[in-house]
Structure 1
Amino acid sequence: MARAYVGLGANLGDREETLRLAVELLAAAEGVTVVGVSSLRETDPVGYLDQPRFLNGAVAVETELEAGALLEALLRIERELGRTREGPRFGPRTVDLDLLLFDAVAVDEPGLTVPHPRLHERRFALEPLAELDPALVVPGRGTVSELLAQLD
C-alpha cells in the first residue's frame, strides 16, 4: 500500500463544493482510501494572473494503485467534474487534481513526474501538505516545512 498526496485546486464555479465532491469521488475510487484532508485556503493565481483566486488544499491517500493508475483516476475525476484543457496554460479551471507525491519515490515517465516538478516553489501546495504532515519529505528537496521556510 502506497501513501500519496494529491493537490486540490479550483477557481471557477462553486469552488468549495467542487473540491468536496472531488474528495468524495477520490475516496470512492477503487483501490484508494482517503486518510487525511487539509483545510482549504484562498490563494492568488500563479503563471497566468488574469483569473479569479483559487481555493487550494491537499489530500493524503493510501492506495493499491501504481502512480500512473492513480493519475488516471485523478484525470477521470477532473473530467467528471467538468474540467476541460482548453484555454491558456495555468488558466482558470473548475478543478485541478495534481499528484504531488507518491510513496517517497521519484517517478519520471511520459506524462507523469513525481514529485510534482514545481512543488518545492509553490506555497499553495506546500502549506496544505505541511498541515497534513510537517515532516513529510519531498524526495531530493527536503521536508515540506524546510521548503516553506525557504520561501519566506
Structure 2
Amino acid sequence: MIDVYLGLGSNLAEPSLQISRALEALAHLGQTTVLRCSSLYASRPMGPSDQPDYVNAVVHLQTLLTPVSLLAATQKIELQQGRVRKNEQWGPRTLDIDILLYGNEIINLPQLVVPHYGMKVREFVLYPLLEISPNLRLPDGENVTDVIKNCPLNGLCVLSCAPPF
C-alpha cells in the first residue's frame, strides 16, 4: 500500500457537506483505506476574490491504485458532487480533490504532477498536512515543519475538528 495525501476544497453548495461526502466516497474506493483527515479549515479564495471562502482539509490514505487510477477515481467523485470544469483557474467549485503526495514518487505526466505544484506555498494545504503528519518528509527531503515556516496563515482558521476514521 502506498501512503497518499489528498487536498480537498469546496466553496459552493454547502462546502462542509461536500467535504464530508467526498470523505465518504474516498472511504468506499476499492483497494484504498482512509487513515485520517485533518480538521476543516476556512481559507480565502485564490484567484478571483468575488467568490465565497473555501473549506479545506487534507486526507491521508493508503492505496494500491496507481496514480492515474487514483486521479480518475477522484475526478469521478468530483463530478458526482457537481463539479463543473471550466477554463477559469481558481474559480468557485463544489469540490476539488488534488493528489498532493503519492508515496515519495515524483510524477510528471500531462494530466498529473506530484508532488502537487503549489503545495509548498498554500496555507490551506500545509497547515492541515502538518496537523495529521507533523513528521512528514516530502520527496525532496524537506520536512513539512520546515516548509511551513515560510507560509503565513493568510487568514486560515479551523472550522471544526477532524472527522473520526
Q: Shared topology, TM-score over 0.5?
A: yes
Number of corresponding residues: 152
Which residue identity does 1:133 align to in structure 2? S
Partner of 2:115: 115
Question: TM-score, normalised to structure 2's length?
Answer: 0.89
Distance 1:38 1:110 in 2: 29
Secondary structure of 1:142 counterpart: coil
Query: Paired residue for 2:64?
Result: 64
Larger RCO of the pair (alpha carbons < 8 Å, separation 6+): 2
| Secondary structure, aligned partner of 1:138 | coil
C-alpha RMSD over aligned residues? 1.1
The match for 1:43 is 43
2:163 is matched with which residue? none
Residue 159 (structure 2) aligns with: none
* Distance apart, 1:86 and its partner CA: 2.3
Supply the distance in 2 between the matched residues of 1:88 and 1:4 (Cα, whole angstroms): 27
Contact 1:48 1:89 in 2 (8 A): no
The 3 A distance-change label for structure 1 pair 52 and 141 is: farther
SS in 1 for 2:59: strand
Where 1:30 maps in the other structure, the secondary structure is coil
The TM-score, its normalising length taken from structure 1, stands at 0.96
Calculate percent identity across the aligned residue pairs: 37
- Which residue of structure 2 lines up, in the alignment, with residue 12 of structure 1? 12
The runs of 5 or more residues in structure 2 that have no matched partner are 153-165
How far 1:89 moved relative to its partner? 1.0
